[in-house]
Structure 1
């Protein structure tokens, strides 16, 4: 990692990331810090990591701090990631939620760690294509992320040719996006369906008007230490409706991580509040 001064800089930067986001850097991501931060340093006229750390310590610039944290985050996402999960949600999970919420005719979906928004737009498109099924219902889709840059991009809804081709079938692209300068812009009808905001899931209360029926938190907790992950699961449970589903990434599990959620017996990759499943077993 270079000189001892640089090692000190790495430690400070990793501390900044964890204190601001809860995320830790795995060894294979540490070596990428300098490469990730080069554009930030160029933008702010800073020569190297040691100078960047000095500027973070002495400067009152919120912009520099936000830019630094944003650059160290992994904002990897794409449309309809793990397509089979969306199929299961459309066919089974949403049907379950319709039955549970039939009296109030409301459903709330929270995308936690939404990054640049593709996942929330995937859900908005899926629901828009079932408009008749949800006529008379209030469907709230909320997307939150700690990255200001990512949320800014998500709100705009403009994606490059590369981004639009990652997971998005051509017929959906043509139906829900317009070609624009710089790529493809989500139609206003889809953008209006989603409320994006900057939130830290460990410390901020998400802008939900009621407990969430469906929570996406995919490939975010991978970057948390175990204590932070346990705290995150407790936060997710606190925000979840009694009859709800949690969607994690394909490589994630609740086993050994939390007792707040258990695997859904019916839907692979989806989880349910443990207390709800226990009540159902007792009733049976």
Structure 2
């Protein structure tokens, strides 16, 4: 049964708005949270209920109301070093292989798609910075994109609450890379300059990459796409990937039965490679 304050048509419209703007669909357990998620938006814009919100979206030309509504329905769950084993594998193996592949041009390009509020992109930036001399003289570009303007705004500022900073971030790194302020823990300028954040819809917009991505993070985003949207997303990821590159998905995600653009890496557990990359390797 739908919430007492909203009609079924209001829910359908809101779900349609989310999918048309982001490609994402709402799972049943998220549908029931729409009204709660949108209450702050309705209060801020002086709107009484979801039916009135839908009416305002239809009749108003307010871009801010539309952006706020879509933002509130997104799931921006993330944290530092999410799944340590993944970052360990990247540090120990994936980056080493990329260094060997790119040793002549000395360039590393990372695209973090669905970066949310930035913790995982900053985690990778810290990891690479701490490898020190290995990347001396290299051009290292880390680009984080997300459809949520609110999440990207937070990522750019790099300010995190006590709960957020303690969630996955070891004390040594917290002290080295962040300053405690009255508003929370602020990423130091040296860390912030290592990541470029921008608002992008990965299904529509071309990410601002200076070269093809050697490493792509797209974690726990494709879960929210319908099958056709997921196919489109994988095609975009492949289009932006370097010929020899790695794709990192979330723990509950896979390419099996989803796409023929990527296959599981035979060398790195839990990572994926472009399918045609493996064909070239086999032919060689």
- Tell me the C-alpha RMSD between the 2 structures: 1.0
TM-score (norm 2): 0.98
| Separation (CA, whole Å) in 1 of partners of 2:270 and 2:167 | 21
Q: Deviations over 1:207-259 (max 9, x none)?
A: 00110000000000000000000000000000000000000000100001000
CA change 1:167–1:228 in 2 (3 A) is same
Match of 2:211 in 1: 210
* CA-CA distance at 1:4 after TM superposition: 10
State the match for 1:78 in structure 2: 79
Stretches of 4+ moved more than 3 A in 1? 2-5
Structure-2 separation of matches of 1:268 and 1:82: 13
Cα displacement (A) at 1:25: 0.2
Q: Which runs of 5+ in 1 are unaligned?
A: none
In the superposition, the TM-score normalised over structure 1's length comes to: 0.98
Equivalent residues in 2 for 1:120-135, closer than 5 Å: 120-135=121-136
Q: How far is 1:282 from its partner? A: 2.1
Q: Within 5 Å, give how 1:154-173 maps onto structure 2.
A: 154-173=155-174
Q: Partners in 2 of 1:87 and 1:177 — Cα distance?
A: 22
1:92-241 equivalences in 2 (<5 Å): 92-241=93-242
> Deviations along 1:2-28, whole A, 9 cap, x unmatched?
469610000000000000000000111
Runs of at least 5 residues in structure 2 that lack an aligned partner in the other structure: none
User: Counterpart of 1:89 in 2: which secondary structure?
Assistant: helix
Conserved? CA contact 2:3–2:32, under 8 Å: no
Measured against aligned partners, the alpha-carbon deviations of 1:56-112 in whole angstroms (never above 9, x if no partner) come to: 001111110000000000000000001011001001000000011111100100000
Distance in 2 (alpha carbons) for counterparts of 1:132 and 1:51: 58
